[in-house]
Structures are given as structure tokens and as C-alpha cells.
Structure 1
Amino acid sequence: MPAAFAESLQINLPRGATEVSNSVYSLHMYVFLVCVVIGVIVFAAMFWSIIRHRKSRGAVPAKFHDNVRVEIAWTVIPFLILIAMAWPATSLLLDMDNTDDSDLTVLITGSQWRWDYEYFDYDVQYRSSMATMRDQVYANLPKGENYLLEVDRPLVIPTNRKVRLLITSDDVIHSWWVPEFAIKKDANPGYINEAWTRVDEPGIYRGQCAELCGRDHAFMPIVVIALEPDDFEEWATNEETRLAEEREEEERLLSMQMTMDELMTLGESVYNAQCAACHQPNGQGVPGVFPALAGEGVSVDSDGLNDHIDIVANGVQGTAMQAYRDQLSMRELAAVITYERNAWQNDTGDEVQAADIHNYIQGDN
């Protein structure tokens, strides 16, 4: 009953959904118990000594220089206590870092402010972004049940399989953290950290980026769905088929011209989802932080179309402007650039097509 009560108050570590996370919980409770016992003994001895040897009872302080046996005791006993805690902790840490004999490997790449997942054993790669609507964030709509903890494309893994996770970043330091897996690994640019998990039960498990990685740090959630092995295989096969069809469709659409109305409609949708957080829905930006796009800058430069494409596709090094060439389709890139050059009374009249983006990126490579 006390344990259930404490859990209901959320004043302790969660037990987790994996063998490792439960081992972490058990180690935590073991060390906590050792500390409680030590605290009880020390404070009991202290208060007993204060009460038993108080001046009002006529206690007289003992006079001695040293006591070898006491000094040996207070050296040996703490040493043994440390060994008793360090041994299981070291064993568990070694187990947590042992990614040998994994059944599945997933590369996780953090970027501002989303996660990329690439399955080494399948032709599956996609990006996961927060699905909470901005109107909920800015108090225009009631907050949902999983506010700031929902994504459009969760990571999917099989149950009862050892899943090796390779964690890195393509810009700043992030941290991939799922409490129920007892995993919190930094994603460092230019470096790969390793972790692993084996989930026992199917379910949905949520986490967040645990490193302060920029202004939208709070909008970088993690969702993992664990499926039964057969269901996972079916999902992976369907994903391979769907992504192959998307690539074929992208190739087909490169040769198709979109009308200005189509470009502006799609561009507005992409802008509001990807750009409005920094540059503001009205294109005014944030003075001194994010440049305005309405009526100034590269968006209205008649000779700056290629510069505009380069900035959106490749980002601007050393700033918060990230590269979108791997995040958006050619049509989406063309549409959002067209929108930025014609919205807010910019009226340049420029129409950018998917083929223009493709040709520019191919030439850039």
C-alpha cells in the first residue's frame, strides 16, 4: 500500500517497461534503503548520545587522544558499504552499455527540432515531428491529453527483441530520453552514442529531448510504439512499400507544373507548420533574432531567387536556420519559397516549381 500510494503521488522513479529499467528501479530502491538505514543509525546514535550524556545528568566528557579500533571501524565500514553499492551499480551500467547480439538496429538523428529514424535492417527512413497543434501551445485551443508528447511518425519497434539504438545529431546537442526504457543518451553532432532496449509488452511509450537545444526545445517529443514481432514485420513491409511509392510519386511530380494557387495553398500550409514559429505567421520575424520576410530581405530581392532557394534548402550555418532539403519534398520546398515571395504583399510574381528545386540541388551536389 505505501508503494502504491507513493507511485500515485509520482514521488519516486517509475518502474519502467523493460528489464533494464526495472533493474534501475531495484538498484535505486536498494541504495535508497541503504541510505535510510545509515541515516536512522547515525541520527539515533546522535540523539541517544545527546540525551544520555547531557550536562543536567552530570555527564563528564571522556578524555582520550585516539582509539585505533574505532578509527579502523569507521574506515572499514564505509568502505564495505561503498563496495556493496558500487558492485551492482557497475554491473548494471556494463549491461546497459552492452549492445551485442542485437536483433534490430535503428539510427536516431536529432535536429532542431525533430528526430530522424533510419532502420538498418529495412529500407525504412522517416522524420518524426511534434503533432501538437500550435493553437494548443499558444492557448487558442484546449490542451489535449498528450499535450507536447505526441508526434506524427512514432518510432516503431518489436517486443521481446533487442533493439540497438545509435544516437547522433546533425546540428546541436540533443538528448534522446524515454523514462520507461531507462534510456537518456546525448545526441552529439559528429559522434554516435549507443544504447539498447528490449520491451516486454506492446504499448505506447513517450519521452522528450532532455537537452536544452534551442528555442523550440520543448517541442521535440519522442513516441515509441512497441508491436508484437509479427505485427512489426507487417508494419515494416508496408512502410518499405509506402516509402518506395512516395519516391516514385516524387519523381513523377517533378515533371508536373503547379499553378500559382496550388503553390500558394501548399506553401502557406508548409510555412505555418515549419517556419511561422520563428518568422511569425505575418512574416515580420523577431527583430534582432529572426529576420523578417515580409517586404524585405531575400524574399523580395528580384535577383535573389537562387539565394532564397539555397537558404531554405541548405540552411544558414551558425544560425537557427536549418536545412530543409531532407525534411520537405521538392514540391513543398517550391511551394513554401513561392509563398514567401508572394505573401504579405511581397508580390514578386515568382513561381518556383519542384523541377527548379531539383535542378538547383543537383547542381549544388
Structure 2
Amino acid sequence: MLTIFSSVHRECHVGKNAINHGAWLICLAGGNVSASEITFNMTRGATAISQRVYDLHMTIFYICCLIGLLVFGAMLWSIIHHRKSRGAKAAQFHESTRIELLWTAIPVLILVAMAAPATSTLLTMEDTSKADLTVLITGSQWKWHYKYLEHPVEFYSLLATSKKQISGEQPKSATYLLEVDRPLVLPVGKKIRFLMTSDDVIHSWWVPAFAVKKDANPGYINESWTRIDRPGTYRGQCAELCGKDHGFMPIVVVAKSAEEFDGWIAKTADDQAAAKAQQQDLASQTMTLPQAMELGEKVFLGHCAACHQPAGTGLPGIFPALKGSKITTLADNRAQHLNLVLHGKSGTAMQPFGKQLTVQELAAVVTYERNAWGNNTGDLIQAADVQSLLKNDK
């Protein structure tokens, strides 16, 4: 229920111009959004394509309104002027070829008139050729991974809304459930090609302001593109029911000028290269148990608590408890525990974290799980242990 409400509550914020009717009613019932803040129309967006989609939507809407006015107007006029009280008698005729041709030809012509601009817009939306930049987007329960194919930059983007806001202990911010720790940064005025796929289940990458909504399917790659007209921050969300935390998988895109983007991508590439170089140094460093517990708690709350819960109790029948479990308390299962965190478990929601976390973070979170919530094994995993296991994998 919390996830469903959170998803609907997010609908109130993703696009005040793109909100659906059901979500609008629930938002009003919850008192979070005033009626004056809500419109029922599509967003015009921040790209030429989104404007074309909006214009197409409005054109077809007006055509439908005109058809409705003519049809129901003719029906109302006929009902009033040909009623029995005025002495009208029903005409008796059958199989008028002329009328049948007319009521067949007119709808066909209307559909052709609507299909022509729609087809042109759809073809343009699917044309990903001649892109200036390509970003591989991978959905993963419940986060997004972004990889710039022309640059040595990649990272995971996670929900940044605090747990206290979600649990109601703090007031909800204006960007509640629509904020991330690392947004996708894109240049303005460049054609950006998106490649979408998934690590696990079907997700859907949706940013209303770009008129981009494409499924991310495991084992397949879908394509889309955008060209952002103006700098700014644009928000979206996963639009596919991808699991219990579907409502906690936002998208944030920050559009910068070409010069600012070039500076950001260069700095980020340097920072990530330096971080990789530090991995070797981390493997030789040791942590005390208090240091590992402090870092491990931070990593656990950011990456694991959504499934296993902050108190390690899990969700019965869905996600196993770590508190008092055999995998986290038995000495013989220490290697198995570490291997599970590194490589995940096929066929379950337990994903591999070997490429998502540093060796020090991996060591710390396993140490934390083996000593928190009364587990108290005393086990201390070091970065060298993780590094050794990763080398064996190669």
C-alpha cells in the first residue's frame, strides 16, 4: 500500500501538466495538491519532439471535439424536430448506397488526415541516427545505471529521499521521491541517443518533458533519443510496475550548456579513473570493526534496506531476514555470504553488487550484516578478502 500511495503521490509532482485523472483524485483526497495547481493536459516539454507530440495531441483532440459536436448536435436536433408530439413519422427506407458510401468515406478521410502527421511524428521519434552522444541506460531493482559510450563515465543513480520522509517522520519536500544522489547530466542542443535495457525485470524510462518513454527489457535493447532545448532539471520515473519498490525509482536529468557538460564529463572521467586507481590501495588497507560498522551501515541503508529492511527483518515470504539468519551468523557461511553480495542470486531480486560498490564498501557491508541486530559474530571482512575473491572470478 505504501508503494502504491508513493507512486501516486509522485504522479502529483512528476508533471503537474501530465497528471492522470485517478492520481489527481487521490492527490486531492490526500490534500497534498490544490486544484489550482493541476491541469489535465499533456506537458509541452523541453524539446522540439515533445512540442510536436503536444501539438499532435491537441489537433486530434480538437478533431474529436468537432466530430462529437456534429454527431451529438445532429442527434439532438433530430430528436427535437422529429419527435412524435410534432406529428413526425419515421421514414421507411433500406440499403441506401449513397449514405453507406458517405459514412464509410468520411471516417476514412478523417483517419487519413489524423494518421499523416502522427506517422511523421512517430518516424521522427524513432530516428536515432546521427547522434552526438549515446547513453546506455540499464534498469535494476530499484535504481538506474547510466553509461556514456563515448566517454569513460558510468554510475548508478539511486533515490535520495530520506527514509524519515518516506516513513512520515519528516515533512515531504517538493521533490519527494523525485530526487537522486547522482542525476544524469546531458548537454543542451545535442542529439542524445538512449539505449535501454534491464538487469532483471521490465522497467520503463520515462521523462515527460522529453516525450521519451521506453521499456527497458532484460536481454533486449530499445532505442530512443532527445535534443534538449534549454538548460534545467527534468524529472521522471519508472513507468512499469517493476516490483515492490516501483514507486522509489525516480529519474533526474540535469541539462547543461555544451561547455558546462564538457567540463563536467572531463572532471567525472578523471574522478572515476582516480577512484579505480585507488582500488588497489584499498585492498592493502585494513579497517577496525567500528570503522567497518560505520561504513557498512551507510552502505546497507543506501543499497540493501529497501528489501531487507533497516532492522534486518526482511519481508516474510518475499525477502529473507538477515537478523539471526544462517547466512549471516554461521562461520561456515562467511565465504558464501560474501559471494552472495558480490554476485547476487539468479532467479531472485538479489542483484550482484560487485560492480556497484567499492571493495571497501563491499567488505564493510558484509561485516555490518554479520555483526548488526544482535548477530555479533565478531567477523571483520577486509577489502583484501573481497579483492581476492574478485581476482578468482577473473
Question: Shared fold (TM-score greater than 0.5)?
Answer: yes
Give, in angstroms, the shift of residue 254 of structure 1: 1.2
Following the alignment from structure 1 to structure 2, what is the Cα–Cα distance between the partners of residues 297 and 185?
41
* Counterpart for residue 301 of structure 1: 330
Work out whether residues 205 and 213 of structure 2, in 8 Å CA contact, stay in contact via their aligned partners in 1: yes
Structure 2 counterpart of 1:110: 139
- Deviation digits for residues 105-129 of structure 1 (CA, Å, limit 9, x no counterpart): 1111110111111111111111111
The 1-side partners of 2:38 and 2:322 are apart by: 48
Q: Secondary structure at the match of 1:320?
A: coil
- The residue number in structure 1 matching 2:48 is 19
Which of 15, 34, 41 matches 2:63? 34
Partner amino acid, structure 1, of 2:110: I
Pick aligned residue for 2:192 from 149, 163, 171: 163
Task: Give the length in aligned residue pairs.
Answer: 361
SS at structure 1 position matched to 2:332: coil
Equivalent residues in 2 for 1:27-176 (5 A)? 27-176=56-205
Q: How far apart in 2 are the matches of 1:64 and 1:343?
A: 86
What is the aligned counterpart of 2:271 among 214, 236, 242? 242
2:297 aligns to what?
268
2:4 corresponding residue in structure 1: none
Q: 2:379 aligns with which of 350, 355, 361?
A: 350
Equivalent-residue separation in structure 1 for 2:317 and 2:94 (angstroms): 69
Stretches of structure 1 that go unaligned for 5 or more consecutive residues are: none
Query: What are the equivalent positions in structure 2 for 1:180-219 lying under 5 Å apart?
Result: 180-219=209-248
Q: Distance in 2 between matches of 1:73 and 1:282?
A: 70
CA distance in structure 1 between the aligned counterparts of 2:167 and 2:38, rounded to whole angstroms: 29
- d(CA) in 1 for partners of 2:233, 2:365: 34
Cα offset, 1:263, TM superposition? 0.7
Q: 1:178 is matched with which residue?
A: 207
Q: Deviations over 1:215-242 (max 9, x none)?
A: 1111110000111111111111111111
Q: Distance in 2 between matches of 1:325 and 1:108?
A: 19
Aligned counterpart, 1:327: 356
Secondary structure of residue in 2 paired with 1:161: coil
Q: 1:128 to 1:359 in 2, by over 3 A?
A: same
What's the secondary structure of 1:196's corresponding residue? strand
Asked if residue 253 in structure 1 is aligned to residue 282 in structure 2, the reply is yes
Identity of aligned residues (%): 55
Of the structure 1 ranges 343-352 and 98-107, higher mean CA displacement relative to structure 2 is found in: 343-352
- Pairwise CA distance, 1:7: 9.3
| Alpha-carbon displacement from aligned partner over 1:267-297 (angstroms, at most 9, x marks no partner) | 1111122222222222222222222212222
Match for 2:365: what amino acid? V
In structure 1, what is the Cα distance between the partners aligned to 2:263 and 2:119? 39
SS of match in other structure, 1:131: coil
Shift of 1:358: 1.2
1:280 and 1:121 map into 2 onto residues whose CA distance is 38
User: Which residue of structure 1 lines up, in the alignment, with residue 389 of structure 2?
Assistant: 360
SS where residue 303 of structure 1 aligns? helix
Cα distance between partner residues in 2 of 1:152 and 1:99? 29
Rounded Cα–Cα distance in structure 2 between residues aligned with 1:8 and 1:129: 28
User: What does residue 339 of structure 1 align with?
Assistant: 368
SS at match of 2:76: helix
The normalised TM-score by structure 1 is: 0.96
Q: Which moved more, 1:155-164 or 1:251-260?
A: 251-260
SS at match of 2:128: coil
Give the Cα–Cα distance (whole angstroms) in 1 for the partners of residues 43 and 302 of structure 2.
34
> Deviation at 1:8?
5.2
Q: Separation in 2 of the partners of 1:310 and 1:106?
A: 30
Give unmatched runs, 5+ long, in structure 2.
1-16, 18-34
> Greater shift after overlay, 43-52 or 289-298?
289-298
CA distance in 1, matches of 2:97, 2:174: 63
Deviation of 1:9 (Å): 3.1
| SS across alignment from 1:172 | coil
Q: Distance in 1 between matches of 2:233 and 2:278?
A: 31
Give the distance between the partners of 2:232 and 2:96, measured in 1 at CA. 60
**3-state DSSP class of the match of 2:150?**
coil
Q: Distance in 2 between matches of 1:156 and 1:232?
A: 7
What letter matches 1:77 in structure 2? Answer: I
Letter in 1 for 2:283: L
1:54-107, Cα deviation, whole Å (9 max, x unpaired): 001101111112222111110110000000001111111000000111111111
User: 2:326·2:333 contact (CA, 8 Å) conserved in 1?
Assistant: no
* Corresponding residue SS for 1:254: helix
Q: TM-score, normalised by structure 2?
A: 0.89
